[in-house]
Structure 1
């Protein structure tokens, strides 16, 4: 198995990691990763936000002005590791699904 297929599996998350690597992001240093949780409405979002915070996530709830869609943002400082990203998204799904929410991707700000 070569470096790329081991570090960057052939899925959407692996592709994002590969792009970040190619953009020069230092994988040896922790990065600020934003995880997104789509929520159906403000009331559900507030319930999900409470659960996320109780679970240790630094989170906030926002509504997009144009689309009017609600999103919980979770901020995690972490090393960029495929399995850890998958595990966090699974946890976000577990916490948000009872309220109609779901993990809706992640991103890293690149200088």
Structure 2
């Protein structure tokens, strides 16, 4: 399977080359970053209200004064599905002055 030549495509290619089965459902974690804990908590609250089954974790980032919101979605790691989900999280994070910072698969 080949993927587009962008960051998401490169990550999927690396996962495929590492032997990860991309034809089954995985826990895909999307990372959002915020400058203030209140902003991160606001997104967490919003998601818990809109998507109560989604796993959402707020924690301090390794970078000082940055907060992470990790959103776990069980899905097929399909290129189009991942890019669409990233775009959706980007829009939500922007409402709370944050931004999407990529994704990964829990293996």
Q: Quote the residue 1:45 is aligned against.
A: 40
Q: How does 1:1-111 map to 2 (within 5 A)?
A: 3-4=1-2, 8-56=3-51, 57-64=54-61, 67-110=64-107
Cα offset, 1:67, TM superposition: 2.9
Cα root mean square deviation, aligned: 1.5
| Structure 2 unmatched runs, 5+ | none
User: Higher Cα Rg: structure 1 or 2?
Assistant: 1
Question: What is the CA–CA distance in structure 2 between the aligned matches of 1:20 and 1:55, rounded to whole Å?
Answer: 31
Runs of 4+ in 1 over 4 A off after TM superposition: none
Cα offset, 1:109, TM superposition: 3.2
Question: What is the CA–CA distance in structure 2 between the aligned matches of 1:85 and 1:54, rounded to whole Å?
Answer: 22
SS at match of 1:29: coil
| Structure 1 unmatched runs, 5+ | none
Q: TM-score, normalised by structure 1?
A: 0.86
Question: What is the CA–CA distance in structure 2 between the aligned matches of 1:45 and 1:66, rounded to whole Å?
Answer: 15
Cα offset, 1:29, TM superposition: 1.1
Question: What is the CA–CA distance in structure 2 between the aligned matches of 1:96 and 1:64, rounded to whole Å?
Answer: 16
